[in-house]
Structure 1
C-alpha cells in the first residue's frame, strides 16, 4: 500500500463524518451499540486491550466503542472513494482494532445497518494493518474529521510492540506462554 494511491485526507474525513452520522442515525444503531458493549464477557484478548495504560473494561469500553466506530468509518470512506478493499485497510491502532472485532461480532446487526445505507464495512484479518503511527495517513484523516485521536487508544505501533513485550514477560512469569496463546495448566490437577 502506498499513500500516493490513497484519496486526499480531506476527502476521506468528509466521507467518514457522513458515514459515522449515517450509521448512528440508523434505527438499529442502539441495539448494535448495546450488543457490542455486552460482548465484554468474551473479551479475552491478552495483547490488544491490555496494552492500554491501566485498562479497565467498564471505564474504557464506551470511549473505545466510539474509536472503533470511527476507525470503521474511515476504512469505509477509503473504500467508498477507491472501491479497493485492500487500500481501505488503512493502519489502525491495536486497541481500536480489537474493539472493531467486538463490533464485527455483531454481524447481523452491523450488516443490516451498513447494507441499508450502502456502506461497505471493511475488515479482513489477513489484510489489516495495525501499524498505526501518529503523523501518518490514518492520523491525518482522523484529525481532519474529528480532531486529535485520543492517544490513550491510538498508540503508535512501536509503543504497542514495547508494551506487548512487557505483557509477554508478565504472562510468562505466571506460566502463560506466547502471551496467553498456550499454557501447561492441568485443570483436573488444580483444586477449585
Structure 2
C-alpha cells in the first residue's frame, strides 16, 4: 500500500480534483473521449473488475462508471501536489479502476486533453491499489469533492474480494479457470 500519510490534505486534493474534472468536462474533445471510452464496451470483458457489481449490466452501468472513473482524477491531483507517482496511486475501487482502463485505452484523446488541462494521468498496473475502503484517504477526498461515493461502484476491498470468491466458483463451474485466464473448452471437439 502506498503511504497515504505522504498525501496532501484531502480537502486540497478534493478542490484540485474538482478543478481538473471541470476542465476535462469542458475540453473540446471530451465528447469524443467519452464516446470512445464508452464504445470500449465489447472490450470490457474482464472477469474480475466490473462483475463484482451486483446485477452488473454494462448498458446501464457504463455511464455512471465513466463518471466514477473521471472522479479518479483525485490521483492526478495527488501527483500534482507531490510529484510522486507511487504516492499518487491512492486506493481505487476495483470496478472504478477497470473503467479507468477503458479511458486509458483512448491514448491520443486522453493525452491531448491531459496536456490542455495541464495534468498527468496516473495509472500503472503494477503500482495500482484496488484496496479502497470506506473511510480511507480516497473516500475522504472523494466525499469532500463530490459527496458520498456510490456504494454500487465504490465497493470496499474486503467485500470485492468476497464477491470475487463467489465469481471464481461460478466461473470454474462453467469451465473458466484462473478468473478467465484459462478455460477447458476444446473448440475442435465442439
What does the per-residue CA deviation read over 1:116-150, in whole Å, with 9 as the maximum and x for residues that have no partner? Answer: 22111100000000000000000000000000000
What does the per-residue CA deviation read over 1:166-190, in whole Å, with 9 as the maximum and x for residues that have no partner? Answer: 0000001111111111012111211
Q: What are the ranges of 5 or more consecutive residues in structure 2 without an aligned counterpart?
A: none
Q: Which residue of 2 aligns with 1:82?
A: 82
Q: How many residues in Structure 1 have an aligned counterpart in Structure 2? A: 189
Quote the RMSD (CA, aligned, Å): 0.7
What secondary structure sits across from 2:15 in the alignment?
A: helix
Rounded Cα–Cα distance in structure 1 between residues aligned with 2:50 and 2:23:
27
Q: Which residue of 2 aligns with 1:63?
A: 64
Q: Which runs of 4+ in 1 moved over 3 A?
A: none
Rounded Cα–Cα distance in structure 1 between residues aligned with 2:170 and 2:130:
23
CA positional deviation for 1:32: 0.1
Rounded Cα–Cα distance in structure 1 between residues aligned with 2:117 and 2:50:
30
Q: Which residue of 2 aligns with 1:110?
A: 110
Q: Which residue of 1 aligns with 2:178?
A: 178
Q: Which residue of 1 aligns with 2:99?
A: 99
Rounded Cα–Cα distance in structure 1 between residues aligned with 2:104 and 2:4:
26
CA positional deviation for 1:42: 1.0
Rounded Cα–Cα distance in structure 1 between residues aligned with 2:5 and 2:101:
28
What does the per-residue CA deviation read over 1:76-112, in whole Å, with 9 as the maximum and x for residues that have no partner? Answer: 0001111111110000000000000000000110001
CA positional deviation for 1:23: 0.6
Q: What are the ranges of 5 or more consecutive residues in structure 1 without an aligned counterpart?
A: none
Q: Which residue of 2 aligns with 1:27?
A: 28
CA positional deviation for 1:2: 2.2
What secondary structure sits across from 1:150 in the alignment?
A: coil
Rounded Cα–Cα distance in structure 1 between residues aligned with 2:141 and 2:29:
27
Please give the residue correspondences for 1:4-15 in structure 2 after superposition, counting only pairs within 5 Å.
4-15=5-16
